[in-house]
């Protein structure tokens, strides 16, 4: 049982420090992962809060068939998909506020991505479609195995391998458009 699973078990048994540990360990990565779905850091933060709220209030059963992290990210993904469906016909953010949100998100990204090479990769990454971004994020930034990524994205192993291959090829093509010199993807 990994650390998240033991923290969740402790939380279910009444130890509130368990949920605090889960939030501290997984909050940042989950926000960045969900941002890939909604392309709005503020909405991603709200979806992350909703994900943890579901854990606290509904206390879903963790079976242990996958890692705790992949189980949690799958809950976050479902939360994001539900939100997108609910809000598909509404504009969540007033247009005049978009400029402030975009500038704040860019400053956050620039502090996170420190050198020019990482900025070029990030730019190419953001040009990819959502499925490609998600698989690359899960496998290379969050260090999920293909099996765990399959659980989160609700795909089989072969689909994950194919998606990962196509995502790497698309990223390579985007990087080449920018004149990026790379060693190996």
Structural domain containing residue 42: 1-110
Residue 185: inside a domain: no
pLDDT of residue 185: 44
- Categorise residue 67: left if φ over 0, alpha if ψ from -120 to 50, beta otherwise: beta
Same domain, 100 and 44: yes
Same domain, 76 and 156: no
pLDDT of residue 79: 92
pLDDT of residue 108: 54
In this structure, are residues 69 and 2 in contact, taking their beta carbons and an 8 Å threshold? yes
Among 154, 150, 135, 9, smallest CA distance to 68 is for 9
Give the chain's domain count: 2
**Integer Cα distance of 21 and 172 in angstroms:** 37
Domain boundary among 53, 76, 110: 110
Q: Which two tokens stand for residue 118?
A: 């990482």
| 51: CATH | 1.10.1740.10
How far CA 76 is from CA of 62, 69, 143, 172, 184, in Å, comes to 14, 10, 17, 28, 31
| Per-residue b or e along 147-165, where b marks 16 or more CB atoms closer than 10 Å to that residue's CB | ebbbbbbebeeeebeebbe
pLDDT averaged over consecutive 10-residue blocks of the chain (185 residues)?
81 91 92 88 93 92 88 92 77 54 55 56 82 89 89 92 93 81 53
Q: Which two tokens stand for residue 125?
A: 């990454």
pLDDT of residue 165: 94
pLDDT of residue 75: 93
Three-class SS state of 110: helix
The DSSP output letter for 137 is I
| 117: CATH | 1.10.10.10
pLDDT of residue 86: 82
């Amino acid at each position: 049982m990994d650390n998240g699973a033991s923290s969740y078990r402790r939380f279910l048994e009444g130890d509130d420090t368990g949920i605090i540990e889960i939030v501290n360990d997984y909050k940042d990565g989950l926000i960045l992962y969900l941002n890939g779905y909604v392309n709005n850091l503020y909405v991603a933060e709200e979806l992350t809060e909703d994900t943890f709220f579901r854990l606290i209030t509904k206390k879903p059963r963790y079976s242990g068939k996958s890692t705790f992290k992949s189980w949690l990210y799958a809950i976050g993904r479902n939360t994001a998909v539900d939100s997108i469906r609910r809000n598909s016909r509404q504009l969540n953010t007033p247009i005049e506020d978009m400029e402030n949100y975009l500038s704040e998100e860019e400053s956050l990204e620039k502090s996170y991505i420190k050198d020019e090479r990482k900025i070029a990769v990030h730019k190419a990454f953001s040009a990819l479609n959502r499925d490609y971004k998600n698989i690359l994020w899960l496998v290379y930034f969050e260090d999920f195995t293909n099996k765990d990524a399959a659980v989160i994205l609700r795909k089989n192993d072969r689909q994950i391998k194919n998606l990962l291959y196509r995502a790497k090829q698309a990223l390579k093509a985007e990087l080449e458009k920018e004149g990026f010199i790379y060693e190996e993807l």
